[in-house]
Chains A and B, each alone.
Chain A
Amino acid sequence: AQSVTQLDSQVPVFEEAPVELRCNYSSSVSVYLFWYVQYPNQGLQLLLKYLSGSTLVKGINGFEAEFNKSQTSFHLRKPSVHISDTAEYFCAVLEGAAGNKLTFGGGTRVLVKP
């Protein structure tokens, strides 16, 4: 069975500093990978996704992620964060082309300090 591990439960970061959120997955088949963001009292919003092709994926709000098949990782990065990036971030995996359910990690709470 697939699983997703987000190695950091909380990441405090100063405004305009870079941030990296780590995500590792385990699966025996090919996967599609996603990052979602959840702002307080809201649902989840898709930041970016990797389905195939280039392993460097760019998303909304200046975020990007790199798929590393050998390390089974999909880390999320942003070179300069804003206060508005304070939120919870979830990595998720869809297993195979026939998959129909997302398996989410436990989330990483990003707190951007002024």
Chain B
Amino acid sequence: ETGVTQSPTHLIKTRGQQVTLRCSSQSGHNTVSWYQQALGQGPQFIFQYYREEENGRGNFPPRFSGLQFPNYSSELNVNALELDDSALYLCASSSTGGRTGELFFGEGSRLTVL
């Protein structure tokens, strides 16, 4: 059984640029959630995708957007990067729309914005 995989693992961008982060969900999971974890803090919910549609969104501006593909993999896109976007971005997959809270996390993509 393949777990959740994320790419890239590390990347550096400058302010104003755009970034795309990718996530492959665990086999059999149809739900993908994205979380932002700033240094020294707990993860914060960005949004969730279920059956290719956004199924809930946290308190993040519209420049954070996402996609889910028919194979349930997902992308997180961030436009007009700001310094505060520097963080570990975690993808988590689950079944049943994530309602039991048992999320399976990838190791994250660490984004540094200079």
Contact = CB atoms under 8 A, between A and B. Distances in A.
Interface stretch (A12-20, A62-70, A79-87, A96-104): A96-104
Given A46-B103, A49-B102, A90-B42, A100 B97 contact: yes
A94 B43 contact: no
A24 to B, nearest CB: 14
Contacts, number: 71
A112 interface: no
Interface residues of B, number: 28
Interface string B10-53: 00000000000000000000000101000011111100101000
Interface residues of A, number: 27
A100 B56 contact: yes
Contacts of A98: 99
Contacts of B98: 100-101
Nearest to A45: B105
Given A43-B4, A44-B90, A107-B41, A102 B97 contact: no
A51 interface: yes
B7 to A, nearest CB: 13
A49 B4 CA distance: 20
Given A51-B100, A94-B99, A101 B45 contact: yes
Contact of A90 (B43, B102, B107): B43
A43 B106 contact: yes
Contacts of B106: 43
Q: Max chain B CB contacts within 10 Å: which of A98, A100, A106? A: A100
B66 interface: no
Contacts of A105: 42
Contacts of A45: 105
Nearest to B9: A41
Top-7 shortest CB links A-B: A104-B42, A43-B105, A94-B101, A101-B45, A44-B105, A100-B56, A43-B107
Interface of A: 4, 6, 32, 34, 36, 41-46, 49, 51, 90, 92, 94, 97-107
